Amino acid sequence: MTNEKKRKQLFTLLDEIEAYERCVGKMQFDMECCAPEEGLEQAGEDMAIIGKQIFKLTHAKKYVTLLCELYADGEGLTPVQKKAVEHLYDGYAREKNIPAKLAYEIDVAANRAYADWLRAKKAQDFSLYRDSLAALIGYAGKLVSLRDERKATVYDTLLDDYEKGGSIAQLDAFFASLKKRILPLVQRIVAEGKPIREDFMSRPVPIPRQEAFSRYLLELEGLRKSALVLMTTEHPFTDHYGPHDIRVTTHYYEENFISNIFSTLHEGGHALFMQNEPAELYENHAADNMTSAMHECISRFYENIIGRSEEFLRFVSPKLRELSGGVFDDVTDRELYEAVNVARPSLNRMNSDELTYCIHIMIRYELEKAFVNGGITVDGIPALWNAKYKEYLGVDVPNDEEGCLQDVHWTGMFGYFPSYALGNAYGAQILRTMQKDFDVFAAVAKGELNRVADWLTEHVFSIASLTTPDEWIRAITGEPLNVEYYLDYLEKKYTALYEICC
Of 466, 140, 455, nearest to 294 by C-alpha is 466
Q: Which is nearer to its own copies, 53 or 167 (CB)?
A: 53
Least Å from the CB of residue 461 to its own copies: 18
228 belongs to the binding site for its own copies (CB under 8 A): yes
Task: Tally the residues of the chain.
Answer: 502
Q: Which is nearer to its own copies, 241 or 441 (CB)?
A: 241
Q: Which is nearer to its own copies, 120 or 248 (CB)?
A: 248
Contacts 24+ apart (CB under 8 A), 455-459: 456/272, 456/276, 456/298, 456/430, 457/276, 459/433, 459/434
Set 32, 221, 267, 277: catalytic member: 267
Residue 267 known to be catalytic: yes
Least Å from the CB of residue 117 to its own copies: 23
- Rounded to whole angstroms, how far apart are CA atoms 121 and 401? 5
Angle, vertex CA 247, rays to CA 31 and CA 292, nearest 5? 95
Range in contact with its own copies (rule: CB under 8 A) among 98-106, 244-252, 357-365, 442-450? 244-252
Least Å from the CB of residue 73 to its own copies: 30
Least Å from the CB of residue 19 to its own copies: 4
DSSP 369-433: HHHHTTSS-GGGHHHHHHHHIIIII-----SSTTTTTS-SGGGT-TT-THHHHHHHHHHHHHHHH
- Rounded to whole angstroms, how far apart are CA atoms 98 and 55? 12
Least Å from the CB of residue 215 to its own copies: 13
Query: Of 165, 242, 318, 375, which one interacts with its own copies (CB under 8 A)?
Result: 242
Q: Which is nearer to its own copies, 229 or 383 (CB)?
A: 229
Task: List the interface residues with its own copies, window 359-388 (CB under 8 A).
Answer: none
Pair 247, 239: CB distance under 8 Å: yes
227 belongs to the binding site for its own copies (CB under 8 A): yes
Task: List the interface residues with its own copies, window 6-35 (CB under 8 A).
Answer: 16, 19-20, 22-23, 26-27, 29-30, 33-35
245 belongs to the binding site for its own copies (CB under 8 A): yes
Least Å from the CB of residue 45 to its own copies: 7
Query: Of 103, 173, 176, 231, which one interacts with its own copies (CB under 8 A)?
Result: 231
Of 354, 360, 443, nearest to 395 by C-alpha is 360
Q: Which is nearer to its own copies, 28 or 259 (CB)?
A: 28
Query: Of 142, 150, 224, 474, which one interacts with its own copies (CB under 8 A)?
Result: 224
Least Å from the CB of residue 36 to its own copies: 5
Query: Of 79, 138, 204, 208, which one interacts with its own copies (CB under 8 A)?
Result: 208
Cα 366 from chain centre = 19
Q: Is the dihedral of CA 475, 481, 484, 489 positive or negative?
A: positive
Q: Which is nearer to its own copies, 217 or 487 (CB)?
A: 217
Task: List the interface residues with its own copies, window 32-71 (CB under 8 A).
Answer: 33-39, 41-43, 45-46, 49-50, 53
> Which residues, 6+ apart, have CB-to-CB distance to 259 below 8 Å?
253, 351
Task: List the interface residues with its own copies, window 135-194 (CB under 8 A).
Answer: none
Burial class (CB in 10 A: 0-12, 13-18, 19+), 219: middle
Q: Which is nearer to its own copies, 27 or 64 (CB)?
A: 27
DSSP 435-479: HHHS-HHHHHHTT-HHHHHHHHIIIIIHHHTTS-HHHHHHHHHSS
- Rounded to whole angstroms, how far apart are CA atoms 371 and 377? 6
Residues with active-site annotation: 267
Binding site for its own copies (CB under 8 A): 16, 19-20, 22-23, 26-27, 29-30, 33-39, 41-43, 45-46, 49-50, 53, 208, 224-229, 231, 241-242, 244-247
